[in-house]
Amino acid sequence: AQKVTQAQTEISVVEKEDVTLDCVYETRDTTYYLFWYKQPPSGELVFLIRRNSFDEQNEISGRYSWNFQKSTSSFNFTITASQVVDSAVYFCALSEAGIAGFQKLVFGTGTRLLVSP
Amino acid sequence: KAGVTQTPRYLIKTRGQQVTLSCSPISGHRSVSWYQQTPGQGLQFLFEYFSETQRNKGNFPGRFSGRQFSNSRSEMNVSTLELGDSALYLCASSLVGSVQETQYFGPGTRLLVL
């Protein structure tokens, strides 16, 4: 069965520090999709990025960057020069085909990031 | 485009009661999924609907049910509420629910069972 592990329960940093959130996944599928979502205190899950298993290029979006490595089954997320507004819980998720062949997301346990001024 | 909307946002019920939560997907999205989030179990998949049919179901008791209407709006129902049903219930939508799609989530409904 698919599994996503986020070993870091909580991380505290001071504003402007760089921080990396780790994500390790397990799957037997050769084709799969990985996601990162942000959950602010309001509760809504905000989509950040999707990566398919064929594309190992790293991606950068502003202060956010993602490092996907199939060899270590990891999909890590780095925030550069963190800001207080980055404080949230971040979830890594794996898309698998459910019984009927359609999508369900398997989530990690989340990493709570606290950025203090 | 409006995002996924969920009503109500907050709900307080007592044990034994039943509750119905509603979700309106992004316009044009036909797949709706439901997830339960609790501090102990994290985010868990409940079920997924497409074209008014349940295609996937997570490992939850039969007290949890849902349906989807012809306009893709979805409801989920929990009967005979238990204290452990207190959770944030999140709804997500995507175009057709295929593996490669991104699911977009609503703000959730916070259910407290007393």
Q: Which residues of B touch A54 (CB under 8 A)?
A: none
Cβ contact A103–B45 (<8 Å)? no
Contact B24, B73 (CB under 8 A): yes
The 10s digit of each residue's pLDDT in A7-64 is: 999 999 999 999 999 999 999 888 899 999 999 998 999 999 999 888 888 888 899 9
Q: Rounded distance, CA A67 to CA B83, Å?
A: 40
pLDDT at A101: 65
The 10s digit of each residue's pLDDT in B4-19 is: 999 999 999 999 999 9
What would the two tokens of residue B85 be? 């049903």
pLDDT at B58: 92
Q: Half-sphere exposure of B88 toward its Cβ, with a 13 Å CA cutoff? A: 19
Of B33, B99, B107, the CB nearest to A42: B107
pLDDT at A99: 63
Looking at the complex, report in whole angstroms how far the Cα of residue A108 sits from the nearest Cα belonging to chain B: 8
Average pLDDT of every residue of chain B: 95
